Structure 1
């Protein structure tokens, strides 16, 4: 017999006590926001390094130079999507599917003269099929033959996010990040952080007994029944 147990929950208090605790937390939240603003200000003042604008990628109409990926705008945010060669859909990168799959509405970026594009590290014809299966409509290019030139010799994770600036026909790299630096791509995490049980990952500082079902450094954190979690809604919509 399966016995379901209700997980522990916060203590129940009166409204005044609840609001007082929330007000105290708000002070820390505002300090956190202001520190983020300060870090962003420092990021805007970073130096930059020049990149060859003729590095070739492959898009829907064949080979194109990096310069064309800007789509005429002055800035480019590029996510280097990992690709597991010769692997089926179920074995494609769960992390890239999680992060890249949550960047959907691009009009606000465009209004700031910023283009967003995926530079997949696999072949175009195969990988764009994955984009279409997932129902994504972000600009998609293959960087299979150009990733080494774009990423350079600096140690980076397999799937960094890189920001570029275009000045006429010159291109510069201005910032890159990976790991938890990718979290702005995934509003899911920010929303979960507001809930009682958080992300339910084992590294979190939660009270004893709080559900923590996932280990951060395992593939299962972004997988369900052997597939990247977001694939299931697509499979179920195609009987």
Structure 2
């Protein structure tokens, strides 16, 4: 994955280096303030009612969207793409990237937020994928009719983050995002963006000669599989999804 012949940034004295960082820092601070302003506007959005009884499939059989809140006031749901009947190696690299980032949930719980993955596929098959990857995130299968109801007006084949608010037994949708918006789940890309070579993806603006490659899917596949598969296989975990 690396090559000693890759070009590197120019070497300068520390004062010159710090001056350029200070200039960039002003832009970073402006970006932070704009992100805060956008978040403030997001908190002021109206909301729309959804059917709290929308069925989901979970570890105890058929359940509901309301139950997925686990008694908390807010639900942050990631809608995971799924290819029924396909082996683990052919499941979505982008969704695997997103779901693999969210591990510690106690910080969300402390703010009355439940995080759950709503998989657009059969529960029994897809939950084996979660278990193969060692995730502990609450996981539900979303029947096709429920997908139509919960993602009304949106392409159900895409990945989404959707935020819900519970008022007693009523549920409301407050916000949703897709495409680059799902990077809010990620820390790996954010850390890559701090490094000299960044994400090494072909769409990025980089100096001439900087390393770039075309990943097979958003989030990255390596040798035909989503990247998080490889360490689990090396530990001896089975990726069979057929029971």
TM-score by length of 1: 0.94
Tell me how far apart the structure 2 counterparts of residues 237 and 64 of structure 1 sit (CA, whole Å).
34
Q: Does 1:142 align with 2:141?
A: yes
Aligned residue pair count: 234
Question: How many Å apart are 1:132 and its aligned residue?
Answer: 0.2
Deviation digits for residues 63-108 of structure 1 (CA, Å, limit 9, x no counterpart): 1111110000000001111110110010011110001111111000
Gaps of 5+ in 1: none
Which residue of the partner structure matches residue 204 of structure 2?
Answer: 204
- In structure 2, how many angstroms separate the alpha carbons of the residues matched to 1:199 and 1:86? 32
Structure 1 residue 157: deviation in Å?
5.8
Q: CA deviation at 1:186?
A: 1.0
Shift of 1:219: 2.5
**Could you say if the C-alpha distance between residues 221 and 119 of structure 1 is closer, same or farther in structure 2, counting changes exceeding 3 Å?**
closer
State the Cα deviation string for residues 142-201 of structure 1 (Å, max 9, x = none): 102311111112456611110000000110000000110011111111000000011111
Q: Distance in 1 between matches of 2:221 and 2:68?
A: 31
Residue 136 and residue 81 in structure 1: after superposition, are their counterparts in 2 closer, same or farther (change >3 A)? same
Query: Is the 2:148–2:156 Cα contact (8 Å) retained in structure 1?
Result: no
Query: How far does residue 6 in structure 1 lie from its aligned partner after superposition?
Result: 1.3
Q: What's the CA shift string for 1:114-141, capped at 9, x where partnerless?
A: 0000001111111100000000000000
Q: 2 CA distance for matches of 1:219 and 1:117? A: 23
Structure 2 gap ranges (5+): 238-243
SS in 2 for 1:63: strand
Q: Is the 8 A contact 1:7 1:210 kept in 2?
A: yes
Tell me what 2:236 maps to: 238
Q: Supply the RMSD in Å over aligned alpha carbons.
A: 1.4
1:227 alignment partner in structure 2 = 225
* TM-score between both structures, scaled by the size of structure 2: 0.93
1:9 maps to: 8
User: Is the CA contact (8 Å cut-off) linking 1:117 and 1:138 kept in structure 2?
Assistant: yes
Distance in 1 separating the partners of 2:174 and 2:233: 39
Query: Residue 82 in 1 paired to residue 61 in 2?
Result: no
* C-alpha separation in 2, matches of 1:86 and 1:155: 21
What is the CA–CA distance in structure 2 between the aligned matches of 1:67 and 1:52, rounded to whole Å? 9
